[in-house]
Amino acid sequence: MRRKRSATREGAHVLIDTYGRVATDLRVSLTDRCNLRCTYCMPEEGLQWLAKPDLLTDDEIVRLIGIAVTRLGIEEVRFTGGEPLLRPGLPGIVERVAALAPRPQMSLTTNGIGLRRTAAALKAAGLDRVNVSLDTLRPDVFKTLTRRDRHKDVVEGLEAAREAGLTPVKINSVLMPGLNADEAPDLLAWSMEHDYELRFIEQMPLDAQHGWKRDGMVTAGDILASLRTRFHLTEESAEERGSAPAERWIVDGGPHRVGVIASVTRPFCAACDRTRLTADGQVRTCLFAAEETDLRGALRSGAPDEEIAGIWRTAMWGKKAGAGLDDPSFVQPDRPMSAIGG
């Protein structure tokens, strides 16, 4: 199995919803700021960032993670952004979370630009592994997609992460029509050559400019058809997948694997085990949720840990059955990916 799960837990000490799903994976956004301007995420001029007083402090982040781990059954913590490497206190946050008992598994989703200088320190602080966004092998296409000329920095960041032992190093790639939609086989071959695990992610309706269109996206089916022009793919079993968002295929008999996260065309909501905390202290039960629950207010008003845990439990109890992307009434969330955390 790809994820370990505790066999039994008391109901008062888990984040369970009315459909019986238990959240054991916490995604924590550390900042809404980013040093790229990816076309599928935000406009070229950027966004109105959160004011510093609205952001959770380092102490508040560690306290909320501690509540989640010690009182609510969280086993894995993923640090996200915006770009989490822009958070000045990141190594200290990681070190303090690593000291929790029980110790959660910790990973980081990053654009990789700052990894060359931070990978070793993050490993020393206790980080287990990283996911790095890289959508293309072509520097000119990278510049078009991200509006920044930083391709070399990302490649060097990947190398630094591998050398530091932040493994398995996973690469997240989004394919866009007319830009990099033809690169799936090349990305896979390159990833295998460098011992990275590649995962393609369907473009999701989380861009700040609300320009996403279903009929303009590269689907999981498109990606797999492209990969099969060069590779033989053997699908892993549902048992092997567990609650992981990525469907995975063994490439050419192994040992390498490739994943596809088909959030739009093949949703996996029934097995979702995630809860999300925004950089300004809001609980989100789903990436596509229209509602949030405020924990920052409770923190700053002096609420004890058990009261905050109770607010969190109530929020998760109301989690919807699915994201609703196939519902004609679906409305894209007002908050973009950079504010929510991936």
Annotated binding-site residue numbers for [4Fe-4S] cluster: 34, 38, 41, 269, 272, 286
Written as six digits, the tokens of 3 are 């994820």
The binding site for S-adenosyl-L-methionine comprises 40, 82, 133, 204
Cβ distance 115 to 65 under 8 Å?
A: no
Environment class of residue 91 by beta-carbon count within 10 Å: exposed (0-12), middle (13-18) or buried (19+)? middle
Q: Which 8-state DSSP code applies to residue 48?
A: -
Rounded to the nearest 10°, the torsion over CA 22, 29, 298, 10 is: 20
The binding site comprises 27, 34, 38, 40-41, 78, 82, 109, 133, 170, 204, 269, 272, 274-276, 286
In angstroms, the CA 16 to CA 143 distance is 43
**Cα–Cα separations (whole angstroms), residue 153 to 38, 97, 133, 303:** 16, 28, 12, 43
Cβ distance 83 to 33 under 8 Å?
A: yes
The binding site for GTP comprises 27, 78, 109, 170, 274-276
The total number of residues written for the chain in this structure: 342
Q: Which residues contact 211 (CB under 8 A, 6 or more apart)?
A: none
